[in-house]
Amino acid sequence: MQPNRRIVWQVGGLLGVFIGAIVVANLAQPGLASSHLISRQVSWRDIFNFLRRPRQDKGGKGALCLLVPSDEKEPAVMWHDRPLFIWQGLEQTIGVRRAGSETVFWRRSLTQPGSTVNQIQFVGIALQPGQTYELLLFSSPMANQPVRWQPFVVMPSPNRATVTTDLQALTTKLRNEGANDEAIAQQRAQYFVDRQLEADAIQEVYSVSNPSAALRQLATDIPKRLCSSP
């Protein structure tokens, strides 16, 4: 997404409210309440099949493509308040600012570019629920102006509390059943898929320290699907 930034400043707060209402609707669907939480047989391929949003032409090899947050017209809503930012492209430095502000309060550069995708974990004070932020991408560590920016929204507090409670219960249940880190990430990803929280589901895919061959393949296939011309 490119400037005019003024438009985003004016509507940033409204977007947070509007997107929050959508999240409430998703969480209120039958079968998605905490009392209905169950772990079930899922595969990473099932989760991959969920990722079907249309993409624009990315301009060929080396072109910038955002995975988290997604580079769609509407800002992605995320449960994660310390997101794992994921993108494909040559840009090696990112930053975060509040929508409507010129102050970049967090900035990091890659220590080693990824072979397929790049990722940097947000660290520091958690981002605030209900707030709209912008992920900035810079051409170099010394650059002052971003080459691109993309707004995203942290899920509003009431909705986020529900999801947090659900995930804690699900994780505890799986731990008690002897599940490993990847199995837990898989069930969490499916939970996010069920609620159409794509950015959160993708973060689970890339969060596992020692992924299986199937998960490594999925991590390779995701940018091929989302960053290719339709």
Give the mean pLDDT of the chain: 83
In which band, very low, low, confident or very high, does the pLDDT at 56 lie, cut at 50, 70 and 90? low
- pLDDT value at residue 71: 85
- The count of structural domains within the chain is 1
Across the range 17-34, mean pLDDT stands at 45
End-to-end Cα distance, the chain: 19
pLDDT at 24: 43
For the residues 168-195, what does the mean pLDDT come to? Answer: 95
Top-confidence residue, 142 or 16: 142
* Strand 148-154, strand 132-138: pairing: antiparallel
Per-residue pLDDT band at 25 (split at 50, 70, 90) = very low
- Sign of the Cα torsion 10, 13, 17, 67 reads positive
Tell me, what's the pLDDT at 15?
A: 45
Domain assignment of residue 99, yes or no = yes
Cα 162-39-128 angle, rounded to 5 deg? 25
Q: Is residue 38 part of a domain?
A: no
Tell me, what's the pLDDT at 8? 41
CA distances from 74 to 16, 70, 153, 230 (A): 10, 9, 10, 19
**pLDDT tens-digit readout, 142-151:** 999 999 999 9
Chain segment 197-230, per-residue pLDDT in tens? 999 999 999 999 999 999 999 999 999 888 876 5
77 lies in a domain?
yes
Using a cut of 0.85, tell me whether the model's pTM lies above it: no
CA 223 to chain centre: 13
34-39 CB contacts, 8 Å cutoff, 24+ apart: 34/162, 34/165, 34/166, 34/169, 37/166, 37/169, 37/170, 37/173, 37/191, 39/170, 39/173, 39/174, 39/177, 39/179, 39/187
Per the CB < 8 A criterion, the answer to whether 137 and 63 are in contact is no
Residue 162 corresponds to which tokens in the numbers above?
A: 């529900």
Q: Is the dihedral of CA 72, 81, 115, 42 positive or negative?
A: negative
Domain range for 71 is 5-32+44-226
Q: Is residue 204 in some structural domain?
A: yes
> Which pLDDT value is given to residue 38?
56
| Mean pLDDT, rounded, for 180-184 | 96
* Dist CA 106 CA 135 (whole Å): 10
Q: Specify if 39 maps to a domain.
A: no
Query: Within a domain: residue 37?
Result: no
Contact indicator for 65, 90 with CB cutoff of 8 Å = no
- Domain assignment present for residue 152? The answer is yes
Q: Which of 186, 170, 226 is nearest to 46 (CA)?
A: 186
For residue 185, is it within any domain? yes
Instruction: List the beta strands (DSSP E) in 72-218.
Output: 76-78, 84-88, 93-98, 106-109, 118-121, 132-138, 148-154
